[in-house]
Structure 1
């Protein structure tokens, strides 16, 4: 396994088994109200949830959660997240999971303070954000899409039978991403294989 390192692209990446140790330093740069976003709950089974919430508690952060972010996150889930983020007055979004959680969090970041419906503005008219953007940080648990270090955000609208991606600019890219390879080692073989094919498909695209 590679050693620990960090670099900017402009997302600041922390890689290695000790990478979570940088979370506390990064959180000092943002406000007190943190929105923790994750998927189906595997981070609780692995113990990662407890590690992260312990850091958040030590930093004195006020935390709200959005759980249950599904693969190919939906516009309904995004609108639900907007309500939660507004109610919490979120200063920062911390995404913990794979590409879908990261995509969802970036879409949420440009929607919280948006006066228009995010689906119409960003996925039908393909307009760029003209509102305050809530910064995002990622803790990756599955390799595949590269969403932890780009501005892309794919959202699905089942009612319209559409799945659309919007690649936003640098201002939407995660401010930092934490990549500890050990977080991926509890993945089922199928999920790891899917991630490998996802990487290859994105390269070919």
Structure 2
């Protein structure tokens, strides 16, 4: 019996695995920019072309090979204390100031964004995505709400997506539709 083909994008999978494994945001960007092109889709699995590992196996080994991609455990505890509790609980200013001093402004703001927190309200712990990423990519390929798909082509909305989600996510969405950022017409 033939296996059903499932579209998998290395960029989307690395983004999902980065959240799952707790990579810092710059690490996810580095993984997508430098390593996504090292994976090839073989029988519905993304395989690293040099090592032969699946993308999941490769991502799991990065704590050993790239420890700078991870926050130290004591910082993770501070992140929990700084942003956890949901929007109804009080903001822990003391924990936030300690975290800010330890990780710096840029990393602090990225963590706050990941948690969905603001300076005056707490957020919730970011949960790793499930296999929904694959399903989401399949939907985006032909969705009329994807501004890069042939049925939903819209240059204005493409610009809005890039502006609101950032270049990395917009590139992944465009690629899911079989297009790219800067395309002048839809691909058929």
Give TM-score, length-normalised by structure 2: 0.27
Radius of gyration: which is bigger? 2
Greater percentage in strand: 1
Greater percentage in helix: 2
Give TM-score, length-normalised by structure 1: 0.26
Larger relative contact order (Cα-Cα within 8 Å, sequence gap ≥ 6): 1
